[in-house]
Chains A and B, each alone.
Chain A
Amino acid sequence: MEGTAVLGRLNWQLGEVVATRPETPRTKSITLDVPGWTGHRPGQHVDLRLTSEDGYHAERSYSIASPPEDRSRVTLTVERIDTGEVSPYLTDELHEGDQLELRGPIGGYFVWEASMGGPLFLVAGGSGIVPLMAMIRHRAAAGPSVATRLLYSSRSLGEIIYRDELDRLTQSSPGLEVAHTLTRETPPGWAGYRRRVDADMLRDVAWPPDQNPLTYICGPTPFVEGAATILAGLGYGPQRIKTERFGPTG
């Protein structure tokens, strides 16, 4: 949103872990209570900073999964990258009552608010669902009239993050459609797609270009680039496509 007021510089501050919750075998949601938190917009992220005993810092970005309607609480969802420096600590070693250094909320470009309208097209690969989930939760709370489609690619059924909540929201929140694709393993009787996101799938699921949808794509870097390139080829204007690359895929 252009013309936003001065926000001030970001400083590191402490949040306290008030809840953790496994979402899938490899992902965990972490809810933080951050004193003085002034709220956030759906799609924004925070930076976390871990400091080792010898003073060495590691910083990583994590999207906010919770909607702004949650007020002073911030929930992140972290996928464990087995060889990673930071994510295994967050998923395995962080517990209720622990303190965590963070700064945020960050960003304004990869943000969707109900007032921006739609139709909305969301494309997620793996943990790329996290900032899009903040948008979906916000939409359910504040803008359920915006027609929304989510195309969500996961490796297997068990790796779909927020699966039950997405099922519930498609029932309770009219105008929200969710299409899943599973790339590695499909259970018997699976009715969704069973391959990587490709042009045919995007043509099926995306709003037609003449409806001028707002599109947000998030996930591993190669996933985001693939989907964005295909959509551009299908005639979607780049000004209406926003991307958030999370980094390489393991």
Chain B
Amino acid sequence: MQGRMGRENKLDGNASAGTLQAIFPFEMTEVMVTCAGCGASNVIGETAAYVSGMGTIVRCPSCDRALIRIARLEGRSYLDLRGSRVLRIHADG
């Protein structure tokens, strides 16, 4: 599985959007994330995503910190948001 998570498998945040929107009831690529490490704010579409059978990692484009990790195991989703200080969601139309 090493190859699947290697840097050559870098995708855009857009590639994580289906997995995110299966959890959050919003279009997620335009949600703004503030990195808990370097403080950079980017919409998820601008971030980097790594997708494999084991899960999805969204990384800060400025410092590469893992902003969001999602794993799915036996019908449950595990969401780790330690790397995100704020998610700004436009949810009210």
Contact = CB atoms under 8 A, between A and B. Distances in A.
B53 to A, nearest CB: 7
A87 interface: no
Listed residue (B21, B29, B92) with the most chain A CB atoms within 10 angstroms of its CB: B21
B17 A221 contact: no
Given A3-B90, A6-B91, A242 B45 contact: yes
Contact of A6 (B14, B17, B25): B25
Contacts of A106: 14, 17-18, 21
B93 A4 contact: yes
Range class of the A interface residue count: 20 to 34
Given A109-B13, A109-B44, A244-B12, A6 B93 contact: yes
Interface stretch (A7-15, A151-159, A169-177, A201-209): A7-15
Interface residues of B, number: 29
Interface stretch (B3-11, B33-41, B63-71): B3-11
Contacts of B24: 9
Contacts of A7: 21, 25-27
B75 to A, nearest CB: 11
A58 B21 contact: no
Interface string A207-250: 00000000000000110000000000000000000111111100
B27 A107 contact: yes
B53 A107 contact: no
B90 A107 contact: no
Interface in B60-92: 90-92
A103 interface: yes
A108 interface: yes
B1 interface: no
A226 B17 CA distance: 24
Interface of A: 1-11, 45-47, 58-59, 61, 103-104, 106-110, 221-222, 242-248
